[in-house]
Amino acid sequence: MIVTKDLTKQYGNFIAVDKVNLNIQPGEIYGFLGPNGAGKTSTIMMLLGIISPTSGEIELFGERYTPSRLDLRKRIGVVPEKHPVGMWAWMTAVEYLKFFADMFVVENAEDRIMNLLSQVNLADVANKKISEFSRGMLQKLSIVRALLHDPDILFLDEPISGLDPIGIKQVRDLIISENREGRTIFVSSHLLSEMEKICHRVAIIFRGKLMAEDRMDKLLLKLSRDREIHIDLEEIPEGIVENIRKLDFVIDVSTEKNRLKIKVPKEGDYRKNLSEFLIKRNLIPIQLKERSISLEEAFVTITQDNVEMLAGVGGEA
């Protein structure tokens, strides 16, 4: 659906995006992550045709894409970080959405508008002026507008910014629902816990370079330095921590109430070894599970100190 080849954007002597190669498949929820100033916004602006690359190529739907390809741009829906107020403030939500429905020649527009508004809990304020909407309501309205013309690709820039927990769940459910219908979704957000819940694959960009791109589970495993196994016991007997620490594959051991937290190398599966060790001492694990590194933890590893390591994870950058 989206392919970039050595995509580059340079502003004077500053390289904002440096030979980025993306390959986003149909039906994916693809997360695009990066700290402020990483080149995320410039990449998205090029993908939307708002700015032109300094060099490199973009393909959408298997065709060469340039800002002049309006036929391809019509197949894109966009939810920007800034929400619709400005010149639209005097309109009601329905008037605003009908305006865009007319532009895109949406069939059965009224039914589609009300259906989408219902999904984000805005049906009751359909006839309310946009100027009276809260930031969260504007964000939901922006998502509805982006979906009106049934785009093949939906770009979301901070889609849950300003939403309360209920609103976040409504938008999350809508994103998942739209994806199940076959829509490809490209999403950028700083709320990494939400990205972890919905994305199939994620890419991390840092200082203009694509540092890592993979399926969520594989990426987190690659970026973890070790694995942590949690074992719950009825009680932790005296001396057991010291004995576990002596095992040749154990990096460290700590406790939390009746839970053992055991760090082991990320290569290999040591759950069986630990179970056998405990059972031989008449200690029966009530629960044994492996704690995975979170996306937030993976994200914060992108610092100046480990650029070289991450470049190896992500392949060529």
Question: Average pLDDT, stretch 142-151?
Answer: 92
219, pLDDT greater than 50: yes
**Domain definitions of the chain by residue range:** 2-220, 225-291
**Assigned fold of 225-291:** Alpha-Beta Plaits (3.30.70)
Among candidate residues 71, 96, 294, 107, the one with its CA nearest the CA of residue 194 = 294
Name the pTM for this structure.
Answer: 0.74
313, pLDDT greater than 60: no
Per the CB < 8 A criterion, the answer to whether 228 and 60 are in contact is no
pLDDT tens readout for residues 223-279: 667 788 999 999 999 899 999 999 999 999 999 889 999 988 877 888 899 999 999
**How many percent of the chain have pLDDT more than 90?**
45
Helix or strand (DSSP H, E) at 41: helix 40-47
> Which CATH number does the domain 2-220 belong to among 3.40.50.11540, 2.40.170.20, 3.40.50.300, 3.30.390.10?
3.40.50.300
133, pLDDT greater than 70: yes
Per the CB < 8 A criterion, the answer to whether 52 and 131 are in contact is no
3-class secondary-structure state, position 141: helix
